[in-house]
Amino acid sequence: MAVIVQTIGVIIIGALLAQVVLFLVSTWHRVTYERQRRTLALELLRCRVEAARTLKVGQEDEKRFWGGFRKFVVRQKVRECHDVYSFYLAPHDRKPLPRFQPGQHLVFKLHIPDTTKPVVRCYSLSDSPTQSDYYRITIKRELSPSDNPDVPAGLVSSYFHNHLQEGDILDVKAPSGKFFLDLTSAAPVAFVAGGVGITPLLSMLNSITEGAATTREVWLFYGVSNGTEHIMKDHLAQLNRQYHNVHVHVCYSQPSDADVIGEDYDHSGRVSVDLLRGLLPSNNYEFFLCGPPAMMDSLTKQLKVWGIPEDKIFFEAFGSATVKKTAAPPPRLADATQVEVFFSKTGKRCQWDQKHGSLLELAEGNAVQIDFGCRAGSCGTCLTAIKAGDVTYMTEPGVAPEAGSCFPCIAIPKGHVTLDA
Ligand SMILES: Cc1cc2nc3c(=O)[nH]c(=O)nc-3n(C[C@H](O)[C@H](O)[C@H](O)COP(=O)(O)OP(=O)(O)OC[C@H]3O[C@@H](n4cnc5c(N)ncnc54)[C@H](O)[C@@H]3O)c2cc1C
């Protein structure tokens, strides 16, 4: 009898325990589910708030953009290295500035003493877009060509270096340009800079390290002659040390006796695709290049040979505003010798062929005056109406020309064309 009672007791206790276990398990499930639901709801809310914030910032930025030229004050002028200065520019009206895309540039119109007309030049924004009260540009003074010392040094860069002081006022267009980094992407990137071509890439690099996406893999290959031209050396070394996702490699093509490999720079010689191939774990990167036209030309060709698709190579060549470009030959037209360009204002009829290069160069060769700024399709100064026919571009314009107009500095005729010049 006692055994039966004992057995029944065990069964009852077992059943009770099973109930308790079941209750605990279902409670645990319910709590876990509830927690997950709350986390998801919070994440959804966070995404909505972030999307609303981005939309608001975008809308605010849109309102902050300006048309034409706006007055800026030189707030600070800082020497970066030999022949390179940075200029911190604050809006004269003290109203907040729109965010730009890292890699974009500003267009300046300057009234330089002893010149008959204002001159226009482009300078890339060299810091991240996070500041709303100033923009920074970094300018190298262009010297006279070594093989032609009688030619004057660069007009505008010399003016910035030698004449502009803190407190001076400049006329500046809103940021523009199609060479920029998409900050919403996480794609690994490789930046290749030559000399002062570091400026837009510096803006991109700073944007990555200052932004939320600090894990995005980024490589910078930076070529200069030697330590005297090494722009923002300490800043770059600091980023390289501080962020595990940032890899900076500096090449000196002509190191001086004072330059120590391993300390001041990493590699002797120029930046080459062989160097990139040796260091990058794969070729699965987006490549952003900026430097002298010859460097761009050779590196883009080598990158294509390495198998990098064209849509993963982005580049900007600063070129030189006064000097004609030779790096990008125009595409061959079927019957180029028969192409007639009529400059209607001056009444000049000219034959265009490959050797003339751009329509601006054709105009210059025939004493037809067209104002220009950048010779790169970036500043819009040479905008000219097309009265008949059409043009094509040697490189994509940095800003879209108005309908029915073109930028002769980078345009060539598609066939017979009449320009309002
Ligand atoms: C989108 C874009 C962004 C840019 N960003 C930057 C930047 O961030 N930083 C920067 O420093 N530059 C930048 N540049 C280049 C800049 O716009 C100017 O082209 C550069 O500063 C030279 O202008 P300059 O007026 O000083 O020289 P220019 O007067 O145009 O002269 C250029 C060179 O030509 C020589 N020269 C002058 N006349 C002759 C002649 N008759 N024959 C032969 N040679 C001659 C000069 O001695 C000089 O070496 C950028 C350009 C573009 C298109």
CATH number, domain of 113, equals 2.40.30.10
Ligand 1: residue whose CA is nearest its atom 11: 139
- Looking at residue 277, its pLDDT comes to 97
Q: Are residues 95 and 158 in the same domain?
A: yes
Ligand 1: residue whose CA is nearest its atom 9: 139
| Single pTM value for the model | 0.81
Strand ranges inside 230-278, DSSP E: 246-252, 267-268
Q: Are residues 304 and 394 in the same domain?
A: no
Q: Are residues 198 and 246 in the same domain?
A: yes
Q: Is residue 251 part of a domain?
A: yes
Helix, strand, or coil here: 125?
A: strand
For the domain that residue 358 is a member of, what is the CATH number?
Answer: 3.10.20.30
DSSP state of 352: E
Q: Are residues 198 and 299 in the same domain?
A: yes
In short, whether 302's Cβ falls inside 6 Å of ligand 1 is no
> Which residues are CB-contacts of 176 (< 8 A; sequence separation ≥ 6)?
104, 105, 107, 378, 398, 399
Residue to mutate, 123, 201, 375, 378, ligand 1, most ligand atoms under 8 Å from C-beta: 123
Of 358, 377, 359, the C-alpha closest to 105 is 377
Cα–Cα distance for residue pair 77/100, rounded to 1 Å = 21
> Which residues are CB-contacts of 95 (< 8 A; sequence separation ≥ 6)?
64
- Looking at residue 3, its pLDDT comes to 74
Cα–Cα distance for residue pair 376/122, rounded to 1 Å = 9
Q: How many domains does the chain have?
A: 3
Print the domain residue range for 255.
189-317
- Looking at residue 70, its pLDDT comes to 97
Backbone angles phi, psi at 212, to 5 degrees: -70, -30
Q: Are residues 161 and 196 in the same domain?
A: no
* Burial track 209-226 (b if 16+ CB lie within 10 A, e otherwise): beeeeeebbbbbbbbbbb
The domain boundary, picked from 119, 143, 172, lies at 172
- Looking at residue 213, its pLDDT comes to 58
Cα–Cα distance for residue pair 408/421, rounded to 1 Å = 10
Ligand 1 centroid – CA 123 distance (Å): 10
- Of ligand 1's listed atoms, the one at least distance from the Cα of 144 is 47
Q: Are residues 202 and 160 in the same domain?
A: no
In short, whether 320's Cβ falls inside 6 Å of ligand 1 is yes
Q: Is residue 57 part of a domain?
A: no
Whether the CB-CB separation of 384 and 349 falls below 8 Å is answered with no
Q: Is residue 383 part of a domain?
A: yes
The domain boundary, picked from 317, 346, 369, lies at 317
- Of ligand 1's listed atoms, the one at least distance from the Cα of 398 is 1
Ligand 1 centroid – CA 154 distance (Å): 6
In short, whether 395's Cβ falls inside 6 Å of ligand 1 is no
- Of ligand 1's listed atoms, the one at least distance from the Cα of 373 is 17
In short, whether 120's Cβ falls inside 6 Å of ligand 1 is no
Q: Are residues 224 and 304 in the same domain?
A: yes
Cα–Cα distance for residue pair 413/128, rounded to 1 Å = 38
Of 178, 176, 225, 221, the C-alpha closest to 201 is 221
Q: Are residues 203 and 295 in the same domain?
A: yes
In short, whether 275's Cβ falls inside 6 Å of ligand 1 is no
Tens digit of each residue's pLDDT, the chain (421 residues)? 677 778 887 888 888 888 888 888 888 888 888 888 886 676 566 546 555 555 566 677 788 899 889 999 999 999 999 999 999 999 999 999 999 999 999 999 999 998 888 899 999 999 999 988 999 999 999 999 888 889 999 999 999 999 999 999 999 999 998 899 999 999 999 999 999 999 999 999 999 999 865 789 999 999 999 999 999 999 999 999 999 999 999 999 999 999 999 999 999 999 999 999 999 999 999 999 999 888 888 999 999 999 999 999 998 888 655 555 443 444 455 555 679 999 999 999 999 988 888 999 999 999 999 988 888 888 888 999 999 999 999 887 877 888 999 999 999 999 999 999 9
Ligand 1 centroid – CA 421 distance (Å): 25
In short, whether 193's Cβ falls inside 6 Å of ligand 1 is no
